[in-house]
Amino acid sequence: MPGQQLEQLLIRIRDGEAHDGALEQARTLLRADARFPEELRRALDDDDEHEVADSAAALLAVLGADEGFGASLADAIFDEAGLFTGSPGAHADDVANDVIAATHPNERATSVAHAVHAMAGDIDVTHEVLAELEQHMATFPIDAAVRWHAGSVEVATDVLARLGLADELAPVAAAVTQQSGPVDIVTSVLSTLALEDVQIPLAAAIAAEAGEVDLVSAVMRATDASWVSAMLDNELDAQARRLATQQLRGNREALAQMTAFADIGRQLRSGVESEAGDVAYIWPAIAEQIGIANPESVPGWDGEQVAAAVRSQAGSVDVTTAVMGRVLSAQITTSDDVEAIPVPANNPWAPALALAAAAMFAVFVGAPAIFGGGASVPTIGDTPELAFAQSDEIIINDLSYAENASVQVIQAQGENGALIIWVDEETTL
Amino acid sequence: MKSFLRALFSILFALGLMASAPALAKAPPGGRPPPGAPATVSSKVTVDVLVLHATNGNTTISQQIPPSVIKQLSMLNFTGYSLLQNHTATLGLKQSTNFTVGAHRFELQLLSKTVQDAKIRVQIFRSPGNNKVLDTTVTVHRNKSFIVGGPPHNGGNLILPITARYPAPAASGS
């Protein structure tokens, strides 16, 4: 703007900083500037530099751009110039505004806006303000406010949908469920809200609502008598067994079933006993079970041990008597039931026969006794078979022989080889 | 007739008594208890001894010899066996029996006895001089046998299978 440019040139001229072109330019702008009276428009025409600087200062003062009494000087000038018309008050205000508007255009606009607003009254800027706020309301708790004031789910949904807050639906649903009350409403609400994946302790809710449920009876009725068998075989855990016991108290059918199972067990055991058979056949299995490596060789054999092992396998089978009877049969025992030699009665030949027998005894026994020989009659014929002692049935306690003799202790070949003590005589003592 | 027979038996009986008096006086050890004695647990053992003659001079094997014996002697490589004697004696504790075969005398003594086995001492003496050739003590299981052999006899050797028999319980007298 020319006015501002003139001011700037005047300031330079006043401060002695203007170049030649600046003075001439200032002179040109001044001559055309209507803000100055005609007489002042040639103030810069002087050639003297100092005079020009002083004139520039004065012009600035007229413009009010200096630190001096610009407004007062302006008043004074205008008073002298006789430019004012109208009432002194109104005329002063209009001039003031004009001057202010001319000299301070920006301030003039702000002031005008303020003045206008102050005069215009209330202006509805809520919509605009809210629109602006929506752009920056990342955490604006509209949903919380909606929930607080919603009153009903439908309103909450509609409001949230209109606000584009569908992602915030889950908290709303949680709030709904918290307020909903009965369990069945929870389900329908959740399905409406498509929140099937929401983890809600439904089972606990059912249990809380359902109360004590007699599941044991229902389950057991549904699974027939298998639970009875399991109970008999001690296959139920503690809790199940306790419940089963309670059920048994009034369940005659189950009790009968248990009795039948127990009878089966007894029948099985008696069947095993009857089939156990000879002790000899089960001895190898028993021996192995009781830790005897070789059933055929039992050091320190104890019949009671065998009987106890057999009983443990076969139940109440009395083998002791039978087995021990076999063991003891070979022992030498006293016998009180020896047959009495029958005495012939009323036989007239009895005395004669007795004498004859005595005579024969005397002949065959007495004669050898007189003439020497063995204490027994050598019998040739009817020699019985011999059973030779095995290695574990014979012990040589002592052995000595002549100096010139030699002795070999030999075991004959074969499965049941006999012990042979063979002496080879060379010379005798 | 009857009176004659009775008289004959009486004479024979008298002769028999006279002849057997020493034998009866020296009753066989371990003999049957006198009649009337109560039945007791037997503490005696009957020792059976077969006296065999083994030779390589023939191939005859006596039929009287139990096959089980011949089988046991097969390793001795004799070709012929004959049975010379079968000596049997019932011995009480510490009692002995003896017999002679040719130049050798055999003595067997029962040293001890248990339910399961018997301890028997076997001694062999040779004549002349009655020199002891062998002295051995053997504990053998009841009713089982062992063999002592080797003494030379008639071009061969004597073999003695010895058995310790446990007798049946003694019967009570009538």
The 10s digit of each residue's pLDDT in A304-326 is 666 666 666 665 545 445 555 55
E-strand ranges in A65-153 read none
What is the per-residue pLDDT for A46? 86
Most A CBs within 10 Å, among B90, B105, B106, B134, to test the A interface: B134
Residue contact A380–B65, C-beta within 8 A: no
Q: Does B79 touch chain A (CB under 8 A)?
A: no
**At residue B145, does pLDDT exceed 80?**
yes
Contact list in B for residue A344 (CB cut-off 8 A) is none
DSSP state, B61? B
A168: left (phi over 0), alpha (psi -120 to 50) or beta: alpha
For the segment A69-93, the average pLDDT, to the nearest whole number, is 47
What is the per-residue pLDDT for B113? 92
Looking at mean pLDDT, say which of A161-165, A292-296, A354-358, B93-97 comes out highest: B93-97
Q: What percent of chain A clears pLDDT 70, i.e. is strictly above it?
A: 28
Contact list in A for residue B78 (CB cut-off 8 A) is none
What is the tens place of the pLDDT at every residue in A121-166?
444 444 555 555 555 554 444 444 444 444 434 444 555 566 665 5
Put simply, the chain B residues between 134 and 163 with a CB less than 8 A from any chain A CB are: 134-152, 161, 163
**At residue A333, does pLDDT exceed 50?**
no
Residue contact A397–B126, C-beta within 8 A: no
Contact list in A for residue B10 (CB cut-off 8 A) is 355
Cis link prior to B128 (omega < 30° from 0)? yes
Contact list in A for residue B76 (CB cut-off 8 A) is 420, 422
A232 vs B36 pLDDT, higher one: A232
Range in A212-221, A291-300, B154-163 with the lowest mean pLDDT: A212-221
What is the per-residue pLDDT for A391? 86
Q: Does A341 touch chain B (CB under 8 A)?
A: yes
Hey, which residues does A396 pair with through a beta bridge? B138
* Of residues B20, B134, B172, nearest to A366 (C-beta): B20
Residue contact A383–B83, C-beta within 8 A: yes
b/e sequence A218-246, b meaning 16+ C-beta within 10 Å = eebeeeeeebbeebbeeebeeebeebbee
Q: How confident is the model at residue A2 (pLDDT cuts 50, 70, 90)?
A: confident
Q: What is the mean pLDDT of chain A?
A: 62
Q: How confident is the model at residue A382 (pLDDT cuts 50, 70, 90)?
A: low
**At residue B161, does pLDDT exceed 90?**
yes
Put simply, the chain B residues between 11 and 30 with a CB less than 8 A from any chain A CB are: 12-13, 15-17, 19-24, 26, 28-29
Q: In this structure, what token pair is assigned to residue A382? A: 């009817």
**At residue B118, does pLDDT exceed 70?**
yes
Q: What's the distance, CA B46 to chain centroid?
A: 8
Are the CB atoms for B47 and B165 separated by under 8 Å? yes
Please tell me whether the interface predicted TM-score (ipTM) of this complex is above 0.90. Answer: no
**At residue A298, does pLDDT exceed 90?**
no
Q: Does A426 touch chain B (CB under 8 A)?
A: no
Largest CA distance in chain B: 64
